[in-house]
Structure 1
Amino acid sequence: MKKGMLSHLTHEGAEIAVRVTPKASRNAVEETTDGLRVYTTSVPEGGKANSAVTKLLATALGVPKSRLTLVRGATSRDKTFKVA
């Protein structure tokens, strides 16, 4: 995963839907025909997976993680992030 490989998705106010797989064997962000898939090795306890997903997504989008806000799906595999 290269930094900024998904920068074409970032613009002010954009909402990005992702499907998360926690406890995966690797950390990765993939763009599929169904949308973005994020794989993280973190466990979904105490917000650890959400933090890891935010960090991975920010790296892939080429933006600071402070510009990403989790809008929907804090306890779901399907999440929506907003770019500030």
Structure 2
Amino acid sequence: MSCAVLAVRLTPRGGRDAVDGWAADADGRPYLKVRVSAPPVEGEANAALVALLAKRLAVSRSAVRVASGATARLKRLEIDGLTPEDLDRLLGRPA
């Protein structure tokens, strides 16, 4: 089974749940900017992130998991059932 990896910078208490596009870190690695209205308390923001991306990518919530960075703003997600090419098609290419 395929598994795509996605770097995300999450902004909790962002006012609304939305994908704000792509940016790059200091080393030039692309990440997806995402905001959620949920607070960063007891995993609520991570749960909102998983729900938002699962809906946007048309996969089940159980297919999306936070692989690293659970308590950090920059997270690494693994999405089962999608390839990196699927992510490019569904989210647009990173700049």
Q: TM-score, normalised by structure 1?
A: 0.80
Identity of aligned residues (%): 36
Q: Number of aligned pairs? A: 74
User: Does the Cα contact within 8 Å between 1:29 and 1:60 map onto a contact in 2?
Assistant: no
1:53 matches 2:43:
no
Structure 1 consecutive aligned stretches of length 4 or more whose deviation exceeds 3 Å: none
CA RMSD of aligned residues (A): 1.5
Unaligned residue ranges in structure 1 (runs of 5+): 1-10
Unaligned residue ranges in structure 2 (runs of 5+): 25-30, 81-95
Q: 2:66 aligns with which of 57, 64, 70?
A: 70
The residue identity in structure 1 corresponding to 2:57 is: L
Q: TM-score, normalised by structure 2?
A: 0.71
User: Does the Cα contact within 8 Å between 1:17 and 1:79 map onto a contact in 2?
Assistant: yes
| Greater CA drift, 32-41 or 15-24 | 32-41
Matches within 5 A, 1:1-84: 12-34=2-24, 35-84=31-80
Q: For residue 85 of structure 2, what is the aligned residue in structure 1? A: none
- Between the aligned partners of 2:72 and 2:55, the Cα distance in structure 1 is 22
**Structure exhibiting the larger radius of gyration computed from Cα positions:** 2
